[in-house]
A and B are shown apart, each in its own frame.
Chain A
Amino acid sequence: MIRLVGVYKRFEELIVLDGVDFDVSKGETIALLGPSGTGKSVLLKHINGLIHPDRGEVYVDEQSVPQLGRKQLATLRSRIGYVFQFGALFDSMSVAENIKLGITDQQCSSDAKYCSARVVECLELVNLPADTARKFPAELSGGMRKRVGIARAIAGEPEYLLYDEPTSGLDPVNADVIDELVVKLRDTLGVTSVVVTHDVRGAFRVADRVALLKEGRIRAFGTPTDFRESRDEVVREFIERDFGALPEA
C-alpha cells in the first residue's frame, strides 16, 4: 500500500506540492491526472524516494520512505518499477543490457540463463520481438523505447509500478497499445500501479480510481464514473478538453 500524508514540496520560490494526501491500495491502479507542470512527476518521485518531501509523510507498505537508509531504500526500490517519461534508457547499452539492470546482479551472476531468458520474457510481455534485445536505444522508435522502459521496470518482478506519462508524445494507436499494456501487466503480474498522465481517455481506461492534481493539491479523487459525474468545475473543465462537453450530472 502507498500512502502520502500532507506532502509539501517547494523548489526555491515555487510551491509544487502543498499538502497532498493520497493513497493506493494493494493491486489497485490509480491514474494521477493534471495539467503539465502541476507536480505529478514530482509526486511520483516521492514514492520511490527520488525526491524527499519538505514536510509530510510518504509510506510504502508502512515504511516511511524519507527515513529509510541507503540499503533499505535500495531494497524498497527493487520492489518498485519506475517507467520514465522518455524511457531514460542508457544509450551506450543494448536493450538487453538495459533490461538486465532491472534484475539483481546476484541473480544474473548466479544464473546467466535465467537472466537472458528473463530479458526475452519481459520483451514478450511488452509485445516486442526477442531480437530487439540486440538493438540499441537509438535504433528504436519512441513507442518501442517506452515499451523497453516498461520491460526494464518489470524485469525485477516488482510489486509496484509507477508510470510517468507513459503515453505522452505517442500517436493514438501507440498510446492505446501502452494503455492495454498497463492493464495487461496489472492483470498478469497483479502489480499495484500509479499512472501519471494528462490523457483523460487513457486514465479512464486503465485506472480503478483517478486523482486530479491542481495547484499542488488533490482536487478530486474517485472512480472514473465519479469523475464523469462530478459537478466540480475544475474536473469538468479538465475532462471536457478530452471528451467534449459532458451532459449536466
Chain B
Amino acid sequence: MDPRRIVGRYTLHALSHVGRFAAFFVEMVRTLNEWRIWVPRTFEQAQNIGYGSLFIVLLTAAFAGAVTALQASYQFQANLPVYIVGGLIVNSIVLELAPVLTALLLAGRIGARYAAELGTMRVTEQIDALESLGRSPMSHLIIPRVIAGTLMLPVLVIFADLIGIVAGYFFAHISSLQISSADFIYGARYFFRPWDLWYSMIKSLFFGLAISLVPSYVGFTTKQGAEGVGRATTAAVVSASVMILFLNALLAQWLLTNA
C-alpha cells in the first residue's frame, strides 16, 4: 500500500479525534451550569476515588520512600554529608515520585474504571437512554468524574508525600547510613522551597485532569460491543499514562526552569 495513504489515513483519524475531543470538552464546559445535577454526583465519585484508592496510594508511596532511602544509603556511603539524604528524599518524593506514581497508579485504577463504565453504558445504550430522557450525559456522568478526579488527585498526593517522607526517613535511619532525625530534618529544610509543594500540587491537578478526562472521553465514544469496551479500556489507560509522562516533562520545563 502507498505509504502516503497510510500516513494520510492516520493523520485524518488523529485529527478527527482531536475535533471530537474538542467538541466533547466544549460540551462539558457548556453543561457546567447544571450544577444541581453534577455536584451531588461529584461527591459520590470523589469518595470512590479518594477512599477507594487511599490504601494502594499509601502503600506505593511508602515503598517509593523506602527504596529512595535505601538507594541513597548505597550511593552516598562516606562520600557526602548524610543530611543531604534528607533533602534528596523529600525533594524526590514531593517533586516527582508521589505525584507521578500516584497519577500512574490512578490512571490504571480510575482510568480503566471510567473507560469500562462509560464504554459499557455506551454499548448497552444507557447513555442514549439518558439523552432520550432529555438529560445531559455530561452533567450526570462526565462532569462528576472529571471534577472528582481532578480534585482528588492532589489530596491523595499530599497523603503520598507524607507517607513517602516518613517511610524514607525510617529506612534511611535503619539503613547503613543510620541518619538521625536531626540530620534528616536539617537536610530536608535546607533544600526545601515552598514552591516545591505548589509545583507538586499544580502537577497533580493536571495529572488528575488527564486521568479523568481522557478515559471519560475514550469510554464515552466507545463502539462495537464488548470488544470495543476492552479496546477502550486499554486505550484509556495507555493514553492517560502517556499524557501523564508528557505533562510531567512539559510542566517541569515550564514551572521549574522559571522558578
Q: Do A and B come from one complex?
A: yes
A77-B133 CB under 8 A given contacts A70-B30, A105-B36: yes
Inter-chain contact A101/B125, CB cutoff 8 Å: no
A residues within 8 A CB of B134?
Answer: 74-78, 104, 156
Inter-chain contact A152/B133, CB cutoff 8 Å: yes
B residues within 8 A CB of A70?
Answer: 30, 136
| B79 proximal to A (CB < 8 A) | no
Cα A104 to Cα B36 with chains together (Å): 13
B residues within 8 A CB of A78?
Answer: 133-134
| B37 proximal to A (CB < 8 A) | yes
Inter-chain contact A101/B133, CB cutoff 8 Å: yes
Per-position binary interface string of chain A over residues 65-76, scored 1 when its CB falls under 8 Å from any chain B CB and 0 otherwise: 000001000111
Q: Give the shortest distance, in Å, between B26 (CB) and chain A (any CB).
A: 11
Cα A8 to Cα B234 with chains together (Å): 35
Of B128, B133, B136, which is within 8 A of A156 by CB?
B133
Inter-chain contact A90/B126, CB cutoff 8 Å: yes
Q: Interface size on A (CB < 8 Å)? A: 24
| B124 proximal to A (CB < 8 A) | yes
Cα A152 to Cα B134 with chains together (Å): 12
A residues within 8 A CB of B30?
Answer: 70
B residues within 8 A CB of A90?
Answer: 121, 126, 129
A45-B128 CB under 8 A given contacts A74-B134, A105-B37: yes
Which of these binds chain B: A20-28, A80-88, A180-188, A193-201?
Answer: A80-88
A residues within 8 A CB of B131?
Answer: 50, 77
Inter-chain contact A48/B125, CB cutoff 8 Å: no
Which of B125, B128, B131 has the most chain A CB within a 10 Å cutoff? B125
Inter-chain contact A74/B136, CB cutoff 8 Å: yes
A-B contact number at CB 8 A: 52
Inter-chain contact B135/A101, CB cutoff 8 Å: yes
| B130 proximal to A (CB < 8 A) | yes
| B257 proximal to A (CB < 8 A) | no
Which of A74, A78, A88 has the most chain B CB within a 10 Å cutoff? A88
Cα A84 to Cα B132 with chains together (Å): 10
B residues within 8 A CB of A84?
Answer: 125, 128-129, 132
Inter-chain contact B135/A74, CB cutoff 8 Å: yes
Interface residues of B in 129-154 (CB under 8 A from A): 129-136
| A102 proximal to B (CB < 8 A) | yes
Cα A139 to Cα B133 with chains together (Å): 23
Q: Give the shortest distance, in Å, between A173 (CB) and chain B (any CB).
A: 25
Inter-chain contact A101/B128, CB cutoff 8 Å: no
Inter-chain contact B126/A88, CB cutoff 8 Å: yes
Per-position binary interface string of chain B over residues 68-85, scored 1 when its CB falls under 8 Å from any chain A CB and 0 otherwise: 000000000000000000
Per-position binary interface string of chain A over residues 81-119, scored 1 when its CB falls under 8 Å from any chain B CB and 0 otherwise: 010111011110000000001101100000000000000
A82-B132 CB under 8 A given contacts A70-B30, A105-B36, A105-B37: yes
Given contacts A82-B128, A84-B128, A105-B36, 5 further A-B contacts (CB under 8 A): A45-B128, A50-B128, A80-B132, A85-B125, A88-B124
In order of increasing CB-CB distance, the 10 nearest A-B pairs are: A78-B134, A82-B132, A88-B129, A77-B134, A88-B125, A74-B134, A84-B125, A88-B126, A101-B133, A50-B128
